[in-house]
Amino acid sequence: MRQAAFRSYAFHIAVIAALFLLQYVLPAYHIGTFTRIMVYAVLAIGYNILFGYTGLMSLGHAMFFAAGAYGAGLSVYWLGFGPIAALLAGVASAFVVSLLAGIVVLRVSGVAFLIVTLMLAQAAFLATLYFNTITLGDQGIVLSLRPIEMAGLSFALSDPSVKYNVALAAFAFALLFSLWLLRSPFGRILIAVRENEARTKLLGYNTFLYRFWALVISGTLSGLSGALYCLLFAYVGASFASLQYSTLPLLYTLLGGTGVTLGPLAGTAIMYYLIDISSSFTSSYMIIVGAALLVITLWFPEGIGGWVRRFLRRKPA
Amino acid sequence: MTLLETRGLSRRYGGVTAVNDVSFRLEQGEIRSIIGPNGAGKTTFVSMICGRIPPSGGAVFFEDHDITNMSPWKRVMRGIVYTFQITSIYPKLTLRENVALAVQRRLTAKPGLHLSLSPDALDAAIDEALSAVGLNNEADRLAGVLPYGHQRLLELAMGLALKPSLLVLDEPTQGLAPGDIQPFCDLIRRTAKTSTILFIEHNLKVVLDLADRITVMDRGAILAEGTPAEIERHPAVQQAYLGD
C-alpha cells in the first residue's frame, strides 16, 4: 500500500515537473494557452472532488468560480489590495459562499441537487448584474495590478512567464492537495458515500457532514481558480458567473475521467485545444465540441483517465 | 445487566402495522435469535434498533440511555452494528477498502475529518477482520466479483471490524454454502465472547445450535420467548410454524 502511495506521488510530481519544463520548449502562444488550461484545471480538480469522488453532480460551480474572481477583483479595485492579499480574499469569499450554499443545496440529492445548484448559481449571476454599482455589471472591471514583491524581487503579473509559473504553482498545489485528500481516510469516506450511502451511514458515518465538506472543499478550490483567472488576466465581469463556468468543469471532468486525480488536467487540456482549433475553422465550433462529447459518452463513458487506468489495470487512486 | 430494551415499539406503514407494541429485553453477553414467518416484522424491528427506520411509537434504550431519536451513525459509535439482510457492501472497491472503512471508523472514535491514520494499525486491523472470516487471501480483489456467500462473509467482517458491543445480524447464513455454515457458527460463538449477538435466522439448525434464548415473532408481535428447549415445546410456536 505504501509503495503504491509513493509511486502515485512520484507520478503526479513528474507531471508537474513536465509542465514546468514545458515552458522552455513551447512557443509563446501555447504558453498562454497552457496558463489558461492550468487555471481551468484547478476548477476541474475542485469539481472532480464533488462529482467524481463524492458522486454529486452540480451545475452551480460558476457561483464558486465567480465568488473567487469577485472576491479578488473587487478587493483590488475598491480596497487597493495587492495580488497576494487579493488571492487570499478571493479564496476566502469562495469558502464563505460554499459554506452558505452547502447548507441550502445539500438538503436534496440526485436530480434535485442539479437543479438547486443551477438555480442558486443563476441567482448569483443575476446578483452580479443587479449590484452593478459595485461589480460594474457585465461590462466588468479591468484591473491594474501591483507586481508581486517577494524576497526583494518584483514579479509583474503581466509577464507571460510569471503568469505561467503562478498558474503552475496553483495547479501543483490543487493537484497534490486533491491527491493527498483522496488518499486519506477522509477521501475513502467520500468514495464510500458515492458508492453506497446507506451502508456508509450504518458504518457510523454522518454522511451529510462528509458531503458538506466535500462541497466546501470543491467550492473553495473552484474559487481559487476564479481568483487566479481574475488576477492573471486582470479582469472580472459578470460572464464569470454565467452558466458556461458551471458546464465547463463538468465537461472537463467527464472527458478526463471522473474520480481520477489527473483526469481534470487531461480533460481541460483536450477540451481547450478542441475548442481552440475548431473555432479557427468555424464560428459554430460548439457543434464539434458536442460531437466529441457524444463520442465520449457513448464509447468512453469512463473518460480518458478511466480508460487509461483500466488499460494499465491500476487500482483506484 | 440489560444491554438493550424496547418499550412499546411500533411501526405502521399507512394502514399496515409491521411491528405492534413490542417490549423486548436483551441481556449483555447473550446470543439471541429472532425467528418467525416472513412478514412477521423481524427486519423492521431490528431496523428500529439500529436506527435505519424511525419508530411510529415506543422507545429504544441502550445501556440505559434512550436512543429512540439517535441517528444511525451515532448508534454505531455507541456500539450497535448491523449487517444487512440483502448484502450491502461496496462492490467496486477491494475487500481491503471495504473493511478499511469499518476499521477507520473504530480507530477514529471521535467525529471529524480523519485526515490521517496510522497505516500499520489500519492494515493490522483489516487483516484481523478478513482472517476471521477466512477472506484474507482475497484482500485485493474487488468485492463485487466475489461469490454471494463470500460477500456475506465480507459484510460480517465489516461488522466485526467495528468491534461492536451489540452485533445485529439479519439472516446471516442466507446464501452461505453448506460447508461455510459450521465455520460461521464457530465465528459467532467466538465473537460472542466480546459482543452481544442478536440475529434473525430462518435456518433452525443454526438457531438451535447458537442461541441462548429465542424470540418468536408473528404478525408484528412477540409470540413466545425462551430457551431453545422451551421454544421447541411451545404450542403456539408449533402452531405458527406448522399450522399454515
What's the grid cell of residue B19? Answer: 411491528
C-alpha cell at B46: 431490528
Q: What is the pLDDT of residue B118?
A: 80
Higher pLDDT, A182 or A226: A226
Cβ contact B244:B238 at 8 Å: no
- The answer as to whether A144 is a domain residue is yes
A1 vs B contacts (CB less than 8 Å)? 119, 123
ipTM: 0.88
Q: Is residue A208 part of a domain?
A: yes
A→B interface, C-beta within 8 Å: 1-2, 181, 184-186, 188-189, 191-192, 195-196, 198-207, 209, 213, 315-316
- Tell me whether residue A44 is in a domain: yes
Cell numbers placing A184: 486519506
Average pLDDT, rounded, for chain A: 90
Measured CA to CA, the distance from residue B55 to residue B67 in angstroms comes to 11
Angle value at C-alpha A149, between A143 and A150, nearest 5 degrees: 140
- Average pLDDT of the residues of chain B: 90
User: How far apart (Å, rounded) are the C-alpha atoms in residues A187 and A233?
Assistant: 33
Residue A2 has pLDDT above 90, yes or no: no
pLDDT at A189: 94
Q: Do B71 and A209 touch (CB under 8 A)?
A: no
C-alpha grid cell, residue A314: 491500476
Residue A47 clears pLDDT 70, i.e. is over it: yes
Count: domains in chain A: 1
CA angle A180, A186, A187 (to 5 degrees): 60
Could you tell me which chain A residue has the CA closest to the CA of B74?
Answer: A204
Task: From A65, A90, A63, select the one nearest A75 (Cα to Cα).
Answer: A90
**Greater model confidence, B108 or B45:** B45
- Domain membership flag for residue A298: no
Cα separation, A26 vs A161, whole angstroms: 11
Orientation of helix A111-130 relative to helix A244-256, angle to 10°: 140
Q: List the grid coordinates of A296.
A: 465520449
Q: How confident is the model at residue B91 (pLDDT cuts 50, 70, 90)?
A: very high
Would you say residue A280 has pLDDT above 90? no
Tens-digit pLDDT profile for residues A121-153: 999 999 999 998 888 888 889 888 888 877 777
**8 Å CB contact of A203 and B100:** no
Of B82, B114, B119, the CB nearest to A202: B82
Would residue A235 be called left, alpha or beta, if left means φ above 0 and alpha means ψ between -120 and 50 degrees? beta
pLDDT tens by residue, B20-64: 999 999 999 999 999 998 889 999 999 999 999 999 999 999 999
Hey, is the C-beta of B124 within 8 angstroms of any chain A C-beta? no
User: How much is the pLDDT for B240?
Assistant: 67
Cβ atoms within 10 Å of B183's Cβ, excluding its own: 13
Q: Which of residues 2-61 of B touch A (CB under 8 A)?
A: 50, 52
The three cell numbers locating residue A168: 503552475
At residue A317 the predicted structure's pLDDT band, cuts being 50, 70 and 90, is very low
DSSP alpha helices (H): ranges in chain A? 2-22, 28-48, 61-77, 83-105, 111-130, 132-135, 160-183, 185-195, 197-201, 207-232, 244-256, 263-281, 285-299, 303-312
Confidence band (pLDDT; 50, 70, 90) for A196? very high
Nearest residue of B to residue A199, measured between CA atoms = B88
Angle subtended by helix axes B148-161 and B95-107, to nearest 10: 20
Distance CA A12, CA A16 (A): 6
Residue with cell 450491502: B88
| Helix residue ranges per DSSP H, B19-86 | 42-50, 72-78
Would A301 be classed as within a structural domain? Answer: no
Residue A295: its pLDDT value, please? 85
B114/A189 CB distance under 8 A: yes
**Better-predicted residue by pLDDT, A176 or A156:** A176
Of all residues in chain A, what percent carry a pLDDT higher than 70?
98
- Residue A114 gets the label, from left (phi > 0), alpha (psi -120 to 50) or beta, of alpha
**For position B244, what pLDDT does the model report?**
46
CB A148 within 8 A of CB A76: no
| Closest by CA position to A40, among listed A270, A238, A289, A229 | A229
Could you give all domains of chain B from N- to C-terminal order, each with its CATH number? 1-79+164-244 (3.40.50.300), 88-163 (no CATH)
Instruction: For B185-236, write each residue's pLDDT tens digit.
Output: 999 999 999 999 999 999 988 999 999 999 999 999 999 999 999 998 888 7
In a domain, A191, yes or no: yes
Instruction: Select from B35, B36, B37, B63 the least CA-distant residue to B49.
Output: B63
The partner residue sitting opposite B114, judged by closest CB among A185, A195, A203, is: A185
Whether B123 sits inside 8 A of A186 (CB atoms) is no
Mind telling me how many Å the CA of A194 is from chain B's nearest CA? 10
Is A282 contained in some domain? Answer: no
What pLDDT band is residue A20 in, cutting at 50, 70 and 90? very high
Q: Which three cell numbers stand for residue A176?
A: 497534490
Enumerate residues 213 to 232 of chain B having a beta carbon within 8 A of any beta carbon in chain A. Answer: none
Write the burial class of residue B199 (CB in 10 Å: 0-12 exposed, 13-18 middle, 19+ buried). Answer: buried
Is residue B67 within 8 angstroms of chain A, CB to CB?
Answer: no
| Chain A residues in contact with B102 (beta carbon < 8 A) | 203
Question: pLDDT tier at A313 (50, 70, 90 boundaries)?
Answer: low
Measured between CB atoms, which of B89, B91, B104 is closest to A185?
B104
Nearest to B80, CA basis, from B223, B202, B198: B198
Instruction: List CB contacts (< 8 A) between B89 and chain A.
Output: 196, 199
- Nearest Cα neighbor of B208 from B190, B234, B227, B180 is B227
Q: What is the mean pLDDT of residues A54-73?
A: 95
Q: Which three cell numbers stand for residue A284?
A: 459554430
A chain contacts of residue B80, beta-carbon cutoff 8 Å: none
Where does residue B191 rank: exposed (0-12), middle (13-18), buried (19+ CB within 10 A)?
buried
Asked if A2's CB is within 8 angstroms of B93's CB, the reply is no
Contact A204 B92 (CB under 8 A): no
- pLDDT confidence tier of residue B109, bands split at 50, 70 and 90: low
Q: Looking at residue A278, what is its pLDDT?
A: 86
| Residue A75 domain boundaries | 2-242
| Domain assignment present for A304 | no
CB B211 within 8 A of CB B31: yes
pLDDT for B215: 95
Q: Are the Cβ atoms of A191 and B93 closer than 8 angstroms?
A: yes
Mean pLDDT of all residues in A31-58: 95
